[in-house]
Amino acid sequence: MKTEKEKAQAGALYDANFDVALIQERDVAKMQCYTYNQLPPAAKAERETLLRELLGKTGQTFLIEQPFYCDYGYNIEIGENFYANVNCVILDGAKVTFGDNVFIAPNCGFYTAGHPLDVPQRNKGLEYAYPIRVGNNVWIGAGVTVLPGVTIGDNTVIGAGSVVTKNIPANVVAVGNPCRVMKSI
């Protein structure tokens, strides 16, 4: 029988609300986020060390401004020259992968989790988690929301305030709610 974590990794419905193992893993990540968010901005080495312990993979050069929040941390992979401004939230029930040279403006959220439309399933605390992938050389404007299962292609710009519900190809500017391609670049 699969664990709830294995179900989540397979993209199946899983119990995120009542599974003791997942709750404990989230508690560890939340404590690490809390500690990170309390560090002085000048404590750069300590901040970097803590993020390297929390995240699944990092490049050599990255900066995540405080505050930062995530569910597990180990499902987050960031490439080289990654920058996330204040109030970045990554709910990483599934993998969230960022390429190289990704710049994220303030108040952005990346949410891998969703809940069933079926009321009895939802009331049992079931959810699903689908991976999010962000390519290389991507700029994400302020207040962007990226939903489960989305891929954003290389060299793309996502305009401020967008809600990204479907895949966005490479080499475009995309904006809006729902986010749509406006032009090629």
Taking domain 4-184, whether its CATH number is 2.160.10.10 is answered by yes
Q: Where are the domains of the chain?
A: 4-184
- Say if residue 67 is preceded by a cis peptide, omega within 30 of 0: yes
Could you read off the pLDDT tens digit of each residue along the chain, which spans 185 residues? 899 999 999 999 999 999 999 999 999 999 999 999 999 999 999 999 999 999 999 999 999 999 999 999 999 999 999 999 999 999 999 999 999 999 999 999 999 999 999 999 999 989 999 999 999 999 999 999 999 999 999 999 999 999 999 999 999 999 999 999 999 99
Which residue in 5, 30, 57, 115 is the catalytic one?
115
User: Torsions phi, psi of 158, nearest 5?
Assistant: -105, 120
Helix axes 20-38, 44-54, angle to 10 degrees: 170
Is residue 115 annotated as part of the catalytic site, yes or no? yes
**CA separation for the pair 43, 37 (Å, rounded):** 11
**CA separation for the pair 136, 20 (Å, rounded):** 36
